[in-house]
Structures are given as C-alpha cells and as structure tokens.
Amino acid sequence: MKSLITGVAGFIGSHLAEKLLSLGHQVVGIDKFLNNYPRDFKERNHAGFKSHPDFLFLEEDLLRLDLGALLRDVDYVFHLAALPGVRASWGAEFARYSENNIMATQLLLEACKSLPLRKVVYASSSSVYGDTDDLPMREEGMTRPVSPYGVSKLAAEHLCYLYWKGYGVPTASLRFFSVYGPRQRPDMFFHILMRAVLRGEPVPLYDDGEQSRDFTFCSDIVDGLTAAAFYPGSGEVFNLGGGTEASLLTVISMVENISGRRANLQRHDRQRGDVRRTQASTERARTRLGYIPRVGLAQGLALEWEWIQSIEG
C-alpha cells in the first residue's frame, strides 16, 4: 500500500506518517513549511522517520505540483495541509486561507477524479459548527462558522462532497475537535500554557476561562484517520472528538497539578471567532468506523507535559 500525506511535517501529519509506516505502507509526504510557526519545529517533527526506507519527503506547494503524476500509484490520500488558526484568518489574511485551504483542496481533488484511489481523507475542523447551543454537535446539524478559517474548512468539505457526488472520488471528511499532545503547534493553547508554566511566564487567558472544548489526543485522531481510510463507505463526514469536555480553567488546574507549578494568568477579552463550547457526538464514527478515543485528558496532558519538558530542556 502507498499513502500520500499532505502537511506531513505538521503536528498530526507527522504522527500519521509514523503510524502508516508501522503498518507497512510506503509513504510520500508533502509539506511546504508555511511560516505560521518556525521551520525548525516542523523539521524536528519528522526527523525520526525522514530517513525511513519507505518514506519519501517532498518540500513542495500543492498549488504548483504535477499532482497527476504524483498520485498515479497512490492508494490513500490524507489531506492535512492547511493554514490553521481562527484568530489570524480575518481581513487581508483570508486570501492566504483561501489559497491554502480551499484552492489547494480543489486542485488535489481535481487530480484525484480519474484515478483508482481507495480513499481521500480530508482533515476538517469543529470550527465548521460555529458558536452553537445545539450540543452535542452532530454531523447532520447546522454548520455556521464564526471565523473565516471555519468558512475555509467547510468550503473544502463541500468540495470533497461534490467531487464524490460528481466524479465518484472516494472521500471522507473528518471534523477534528481540539487536538493536543506531543508536537502540538506552538500557537495552540496547551503548548502556550505548558511552555509558560515551565518558564515562569504569564499565561494569556482570553474570556473568563469557563469556555469549554472537547479535547482529543493526537493518537486518537490518527486512529480515526486510518479507520476512515480503510472504511468502505465514501462521501461522508465524521466527528472525531475525545469524549472529554472541559473548561480552560479546569485544564489549567490539571496542568498545575501535573507540573507542581502555578500558572500566572494574564486576562484578555474574548477574541473574534472564538466559540463558547464544543462537544462532539461521535456516535457515527463509533458505529461506522469503530472509533473509540482511548486517551483520557489527564493522561494526555501528562504526556504533553513530558514532551514540553524535553524540548525546552
């Protein structure tokens, strides 16, 4: 089996590459090293498998690649490449989000439409639901994003559906809920929190801290990605949540207990695009994909704290 991963040097992409290599896949990984966080951080993500005999790395831009030639003998496509971030997606920056999140997805799907692929798995986001009181969030529920980033992810979901409907491209879209764990991006809250606690620096806290999220450990997300790839159905959307909704203040308290240190909270106003709660219904993923999150929040936080210490030491 041969798999293509876009965004392979990222947080989730690097974990997925390791999993597929362990399953005996040949893996082609693409990353263009967007400047949303330091390159050396991403280089470290894939250093452990970059020299694997079944891994080929390409530093390329999807918008400029000969995708037809690249995909010719590929069985599975995992499309994780995107420009992330809710708060940074406003104003003139939306042009970059449109290019990297929407146009790149359309070009990839266009290249896939005449190929005998087994599955194209697209990494979407819980941001497509917006700020809703209709909880738990269900795949058939209303999608009303409250950030340009969420709009871009939902648009790419629609592209996956229409290429399945129009051309039979075997797609699956997965809505990730607040992924955390080792290799988490340095602009994500758990990483910011733990780094600040370790260094004795202020922790920026937006809103009152009572906002809550359905947090999902990275290995559970990878299990969901592979389950969706091997699932025989197509044209569907699945939530991947961790089954643990917790407030930010609860998480801060847990990190304080794990680290034995106090967090110095620095309060800020709520930001545009932030939502109050997320909570995933994972019934569809459980019944059709066999998806069962296995890493609880306390265990996952402890694992990320160990990793933070290792890179900051």
User: ∠ at Cα 31 (28, 33), nearest 5°?
Assistant: 160
Rounded Cα gap, residues 39 and 41, in angstroms: 5
CB neighbours of 97 closer than 8 A, spacing ≥ 6? 83, 89, 148, 149, 152
Catalytic residue among 97, 122, 149, 291: 149
Token output for 278: 């997320």
Token output for 125: 């986001």
- Identify whether the C-beta of residue 7 lies closer than 8 Å to the C-beta of residue 176: no
Rg of the chain taking only CA atoms, in angstroms = 19
Altogether, the residues listed in the chain come to a count of: 313
CB neighbours of 100 closer than 8 A, spacing ≥ 6? 34, 81, 82, 83
Chain-centre distance for alpha carbon 304: 16
Chain-centre distance for alpha carbon 142: 21
Q: SS3 of 273, please?
A: coil
122 part of the active site? no
Q: CA nearest 15: which of 46, 38, 43?
A: 46
Residue 132 burial class via C-beta count within 10 angstroms: exposed 0-12, middle 13-18, buried 19 and up? middle
What positions carry a catalytic annotation?
A: 149
